[in-house]
Structure 1
Amino acid sequence: MVFVSVAIWAAVAFRMGHVEFNLGPVELLCAVFTIFASALIFLRLGLYRAVIRFMGQQAIWAVITAVSYSTLVLGAAVFFTRAEVPRSMPFIYWCLALLMIGGSRLSVRAYYQAKLRSLSKNVIIYGAGESGRQLLTALHHGDQYRVVAFVDDSHHMQHAVINGLQVARAEDLPQLIAEHNITQVLLAIPSASPERRREIIDSLVGLPVHVRTVPRINELVAGRASVNQIQDVDLDDLLGREPVPPHPELIDRCITDKVVMVTGAGGSIGSELCRQILMSNPRELLLLDNSEYALYQIERELNEMMRERNVQVEMVVLLGSVQDQRRLETIYRTFDVNTVYHAAAYKHVPMVEYNVAEGVANNVFGTWYAAEAARKAGVETFVLVSTDKAVRPTNIMGASKRFAELILQGLSQRHTGTRFCMVRFGNVLGSSGSVVPLFREQIEAGGPVTVTHPEVSRYFMSIPEAAQLVLQAGAMGTGGDVFVLDMGEPVRIVDLARRMIRLSGYEMQHDSQHVGHIDIEFIGLRPGEKLREELLLGSNVSGTGHPMIMRAEEECLSYAQMHRYLTDLMHYCDAMDCGGITTVLNAAVSGFGGHEVRYDHLWRKQGKVGRRATRVLAKPAASSTTSNVQELFPEKSS
């Protein structure tokens, strides 16, 4: 109201050319009436409810509308009272009132935003399309980022100005980073193809900026994410190759309108299997895990997923161990299970080296019990999730997984209605215990990033890609099949570490031009690790219904041989005889030779490290062993 009063007085003064003039009672009445009427107008149009620091286009139009109504009131009052003021005075009043009322608000907003910019990080948005403009609007209302420019590959967009920011070429990025002290580049290219995304990310790897991105277009369209949800570069973009596209008809074949069970459903691969199975409309989905918390988490997530996507699938969560054959067989028969995906296993190489007997019991006998129960219950398809570490293994974990494969190959030699097959793939990006989450934690903590060896390399794939491979293999298996994915070339772990460090905006050595640096520290190979992994035991492979999935033709044990080794392995696991366990695995698993138990905690504490294994059991364990073997092979107990 002070601004309205000043604007009325100034409008008369400007028109008359001097500040000394007298207003009569009629003129004062017009002024007072205008002030009170303006107060009501401003209240009605919400000028006092608008938060000035967030004032946008709508609030500015409200100010213009309110001042215009105030001017109409003043003009009407002057006209009807025949006040002796210049006739142009209302027009001058409109300009002055708009300048004072609107300008003061814009000035406060500008001050607030300038204060925020002084505390925020300078960033560049890569992509001047719709997503980039939405991201700019979202960032304007925050205090974390100050956008200084757009970058775009389109020649039509370059040199244009969007919301006061110039659109630069990608070639100008190094210069912009140096001039404006840029700390982050935000990728707003959700609709770009995977190839183009990787090209852009590769071009940014050498720049001293943290590269982050907005969600992909399918997530935006599905409503699972919004454009202002800035996140680190997707794991798929770290893969260094094209993800293998799935064949939906293969995925649906063993799932749609069937009862499907996933063991180890709370783990990284198991939980992703459940997510994708849910989208193929099974009649019923059974989740088995021995971790109560993991089951609770995945059940909550899947229920939320069904609500969001309006999917109705009957879901059953079951606590239990894969080493309990009676419970497994009861579950299979009770729910009339059609398809089993066996993802329950211990997979951390050093951890199994520290706990040999338990690791072998879970990976080998867990597979045996689950598969044998499936055979007895008449399950149609049984798919084992295996690993590239099973090929010429140098550790107990890999040997146990290869023995699990031998079990299914042996069972497939019998006349049974169950199709047994296995899927072998490399390291999974982002899974529990993988290097990518570890590297991110180390980078966030300021380093160093620990790599076991400069030459160590691994095959990598994404979690969704691994799950899709497992689901498709079940449809292509005929019995005893080993499926592997054409994963391209292996990735050196040190190269992956360098890529992640640079995309996080750090250098790997001290550099005067850059404040932050993170070193890579080589700590040596861990127990049981080897430099390079393989996917095949030999070179004999054949094609399948999917161009990127191969069927490996590999040697295997006969059912009788597998039985004999399994019996011996049960004896040694019961006796906690790590040396005997290693002896059996050395004999049964091709390429696993000369391994000695060095790290098992019990074996070390008992002072048995380095002791040669004997094939004679201690007598106290005999009764327990006999009962276990009878349970394992009931048909031979007589």
Structure 2
Amino acid sequence: MSFLEPLLGAHQSHKRLFTLAVDLSFIVAAFWGAVALISPITTALATPANWVVLAAVSLTSLAIFIRIGLYRAVLRYISSRAVGVVLSASLASTLSLYVFSHILPSTITWPSVLIYACYLLLGVGGSRVFIRALISAKQLQGAEPVIIYGAGSAGRQVATGLINSGEYHAAAFIDDDASLQGQMIMGINVYRRDQLPELIKSKGATKLLLAVPSATRAKRKQILSGLEPLSIKVLTIPCIADIVAGKHRIDELNEVDVADLLGRDAVDPVPELMQANIRDKVVLVTGAGGSIGAELCRQIIAQQPTQLILFEASEFNLYSIDKELNGIKKAQNLNCTITPVLGSVQNAERIGSVLHHFNVQTLYHAAAYKHVPLVEYNTIEGVENNVFGTLNTAQAAITHKVETFVLISTDKAVRPTNTMGASKRMSEMILQALAKHQKGTRFCMVRFGNVLGSSGSVVPLFRKQIASGGPITLTHYDITRYFMTIPEAAQLVIQAGAMGQGGDVFVLDMGEPVKIKDLATKMVHLSGLEVRDDANPYGDIEIQCTGLRPGEKLYEELLIGDNVQGTTHERIMTAQEQFLPYSQLRVTLEQLRLACNQFDCEQVRAILLAAPLEYQPQSNLVDLLWTSSKKYESNYVN
């Protein structure tokens, strides 16, 4: 196919002149070929009128070809629409032959006209299809074979996109639809799922593209479970909505969404609950730049508050979410004032001033330190931020008549084994006590487990470790966690907040707990790799156990007791948890504040142990500054 190189590399105008000359030769050949089949060629050549008709038909046909855009079609991207243009051009040329043959005394007969049409269509159309096939064959030479799972419209679009990209080519389709199996689509055979192992070997494919964007999470989980044992990397395509919106290309391939491995379909939010505390209100989110806080902001702005205040201690996080939300506001033409405010919830005067000056009506309190080992290493700061940051914000909400206050809590607050969990349970108790102590602000809290893709989540860590060749590090082979996607968690938080009556502890249905080792294994397999262990010493990625970190649990819980009740929403439950009256809790908080001010980590732990938190620490004090100071004192005394 080296003869194609000069043509493909030529200037566009030169290509068009060349194609025009070739089409002219097809017109002449079709004309004389059609005439020769009906009458002696010598007689036809000796008839002057035939030459005049040929000249007239040639000029007219070329003019028509140019006019209808036949030479604007790029051969390497020729499509069914271009084939239609070729058909129209050939019919127009045939019609001109019929007209001129009747005007002039030629030897052209009606059968000759029909034969001419066939010859011309074969020459003009067939040549283009032939060149396109040669170009495609050339592109396939360096393209990697892939298998597309899904022969529907999305799969066909992916196959077309791959042809044009030149990097991959579709070697086969897999589809569960029996009516498609055994068929050929776009020249590509459609196979059954059970034929995959054989196809992977015969086609030499190392990647499989999952092109079922409309499938439910449960269906995608079922498909992925069947693909996991195979030695092939699984990639997915963006959803069609993102492609249409211009966010992604059809041939843009992504890693498998880990949410698909959970097989959990989100429940459509209830519009009335989503809007109740937000529509036409002034809303503030603390920790607005964090994983949960940022998603809350995205969900909130879609419900059209009059003003959304972003309260955040990190300058970079605040800048990022402010810029993103203003982009959403502009794109969707939303009428909402976005106000970025730098500040810490530990600064009671700062949070109070913001609530007062902006007349905040709804407050979502997502600001907290959530990383278990880091809070263990920084005990005092963790307690001051999580406990007294919540107390400051809640008291300011009461003072400045905030209507609704929603605390983002965690499953680690249930029978906590670490300072972070204990501080979050103390935060819950503060709101429970304040809800009974006053009748103004409506307090509630929403407790849930891990969210996929949040800062500190194992999923991005595992992806990075797999990409670098391993090993994947686990703290324990038996560790399990509850997981939920960030958007679903944020939607449920908003809806639960709308159902609160005062002092409610809401618990989100997190589904079944996931064993982290199983999750890591699935991610390795769906990357087309194998786990290296004693049973498979020549595998690709090793999974290593590093040991539980300070304060870390093997299993997380969502409830302290069994007294849980359902609500009007299938994914939201309410728990009746014990707490101290505010008069008693205030004494505990004063003692805790004094211990923090004196940087007495032992006293802080003693107070948390004495409080009704069911706190059972699983490690000694490991606060970095505390242990360092103790070592210094010991050395000084000696």
Name the TM tier (shorter chain).
0.7 to 0.9
Instruction: Name 1:632's counterpart in structure 2.
Output: none
**Residue of 366, 373, 386 corresponding to 2:389:** 366
2:172 corresponds to 1:149 = yes
Other structure's SS at 2:295 match? helix
| Aligned counterparts of 2:502 and 2:94: Cα–Cα separation in 1 | 87
Residue 451 of structure 2 aligns with an amino acid whose one-letter code is V
User: Does the CA-based 8 Å contact 2:422-2:615 persist in structure 1?
Assistant: no
Task: Report if the CA contact (8 A) 2:398-2:441 is conserved.
Answer: yes
1:211 counterpart SS class: strand
From 571, 576, 582, give the equivalent of 1:553.
576
Aligned to 1:396: 419
CA distance in 2, matches of 1:95, 1:544: 72
Once the two structures are TM-superposed, the CA of residue 374 in structure 1 deviates from its matched residue by 0.6
Shift of 1:181: 2.5
Give the Å deviation of 1:89.
6.3
Q: Does 1:170 align with 2:207?
A: no
AA at the equivalent of 1:125: I
Match for residue 446 of structure 1? Answer: 469
The corresponding residue for 2:543 is 520
Q: What are the superposed Cα offsets for residues 315-363 of structure 1, whole Å, 9 maximum, x if unpaired?
A: 3222222122112112212222222110011112222233333222222
Corresponding residue for residue 265 of structure 1: 288
Within a 5 Å distance, the mapping from 1:33-182 to structure 2 comes to 35-71=58-94, 82=105, 94-182=117-205
1:590 aligns with 2:630: no
Give the distance between the partners of 1:77 and 1:242, measured in 2 at CA.
68
In 2, the alpha carbon distance for the partners of 1:315 and 1:483 equals 29
TM-score norm. by structure 1 comes to: 0.84
Contact 2:68 2:89 in 1 (8 A): yes
Please give the alpha-carbon distance, in whole angstroms, between the structure 1 residues aligned to 2:466 and 2:314: 30
Supply the distance in 2 between the matched residues of 1:123 and 1:363 (Cα, whole angstroms).
50
Structure 2: distance between partners of 1:26 and 1:46: 30
Alpha-carbon displacement from aligned partner over 1:245-268 (angstroms, at most 9, x marks no partner): 544433333223332211111111
Which position in structure 1 is the counterpart of 2:460? Answer: 437
Distance in 1 (CA, whole Å) between partners of 2:120 and 2:79 is 19
Distance in 1 (alpha carbons) for counterparts of 2:143 and 2:632? 58
Q: Distance in 2 between matches of 1:20 and 1:2?
A: 26
Counterpart of 2:498 (choices 454, 472, 475) is 475
* Equivalent pair of 1:235/1:430 in contact (CA under 8 Å): no
> Is residue 2:24 matched to residue 1:4?
yes
User: SS where residue 48 of structure 1 aligns?
Assistant: helix
SS of the counterpart of 1:519?
Answer: strand
Distance 1:279 1:300, change over 3 A: same
CA 1:77/1:219 → structure 2, altered by over 3 Å: closer, same or farther?
Answer: closer
The alpha-carbon distance between structure 1 residues 332 and 2, as it changes in their structure 2 partners (threshold 3 A), is closer
Contact 1:374-1:382 at 8 Å conserved across structures: yes
1:239 paired with 2:262, answer: yes
Distance change (3 Å), C-alpha of 1:85 and 1:464: closer
Deviation at 1:244, TM superposition (A): 5.3
Q: 2:325 aligns with which of 272, 291, 302?
A: 302
Q: Which runs of 5+ in 1 are unaligned?
A: 612-638
Q: Distance in 2 between matches of 1:439 and 1:569?
A: 38
1:109 Cα deviation after fit: 1.7
Deviations for 1:107-141, whole angstroms, at most 9, x for unmatched residues?
33212212222333323333333333333333332
3-state DSSP of counterpart to 1:141: helix
Q: CA deviation at 1:100?
A: 4.0
Please give the per-residue CA displacement for 1:405-447, whole angstroms capped at 9, x wherever unaligned: 2322332342341222221111111112111122222223333
- Could you tell me whether the CA contact under 8 Å between 2:232 and 2:528 is conserved in 1? yes
- How many Å separate the matches in 2 of 1:461 and 1:597? 31
Cα deviation for residue 457 of structure 1 reads 0.7
- The change in CA–CA distance for 1:32 and 1:381 in structure 2 (over 3 A counts) is same
Question: Distance between the aligned counterparts of 2:240 and 2:75, measured in 1?
Answer: 33
Q: Deviations over 1:179-209 (max 9, x none)?
A: 2223333333333333323222222222222
Matched, 1:315 2:338: yes
- Given the superposition, is the C-alpha separation of residues 244 and 101 from structure 1 closer, same or farther in structure 2, using an over 3 Å criterion? closer
Shift of 1:166: 3.1
1:200 aligns with 2:200: no
- Cα distance in 2 between the residues matched to 1:441 and 1:368: 38
Q: Following the alignment from structure 1 to structure 2, what is the Cα–Cα distance between the partners of residues 94 and 130?
A: 34
1:497 and 1:96, CA in 2 relative to 1: closer, same or farther beyond 3 A? same
Residue type at the aligned position of 2:614: S
Contact preservation (8 Å) 2:30, 2:120: no
Alignment of 1:390-539 (within 5 A): 390-509=413-532, 517-539=540-562
2 CA distance for matches of 1:84 and 1:127? Answer: 56
Distance 2:166 2:413 in 1: 51
Unaligned runs of 5+ residues in structure 2 are: 1-20
**C-alpha distance in 1 between matches for 2:599 and 2:282:** 38
Contact map agreement 1:455 1:492 (CA 8 A) in 2:
yes
3-state SS of paired residue (1:562): helix
- Cα gap change, 1:18 to 1:351, in 2 (>3 Å): farther
Distance 1:88 1:515, change over 3 A: farther
Q: CA deviation at 1:220?
A: 7.5
Deviation (angstroms), 1:385: 0.7
Q: Is the 8 A contact 2:140 2:166 kept in 1?
A: yes
Match of 2:277 among 232, 254, 257: 254
Structure 1's 82 and 517: CA in aligned 2 closer, same or farther, altered over 3 A?
farther
Conserved 8 A contact 1:306-1:312: yes
Distance 1:18 1:367, change over 3 A: same
**Percent identity of paired positions between Structure 1 and Structure 2:** 49
SS of the equivalent of 1:420 reads strand
Q: For the Cα contact (< 8 Å) 1:597–1:609, is it kept in 2?
A: no
Q: What's the counterpart of residue 636 of structure 1?
A: none
Residue 123 of structure 1 aligns to a residue in which SS?
strand
Displacement of 1:143 after TM fit?
1.9
The residue identity in structure 1 corresponding to 2:517 is V
The DSSP-based 3-state class of the residue aligned with 2:532 is coil
Q: Are 1:544 and 2:567 an aligned pair?
A: yes
Q: Secondary structure at the match of 2:208?
A: strand
Deviation digits for residues 137-160 of structure 1 (CA, Å, limit 9, x no counterpart)? 333322233223333323333333
Q: Is the 8 A contact 2:551 2:618 kept in 1?
A: no
CA contact (8 A) 2:147 2:173 kept: yes
How far apart, CA to CA, are the structure 2 residues paired with 1:2 and 1:145? 32
Quote how far apart the aligned CAs of 1:553 are. Answer: 2.6
Q: CA deviation at 1:217?
A: 7.0
CA distance in 2, matches of 1:450, 1:41: 69
Distance in 2, matches of 1:77 and 1:403, equals 96
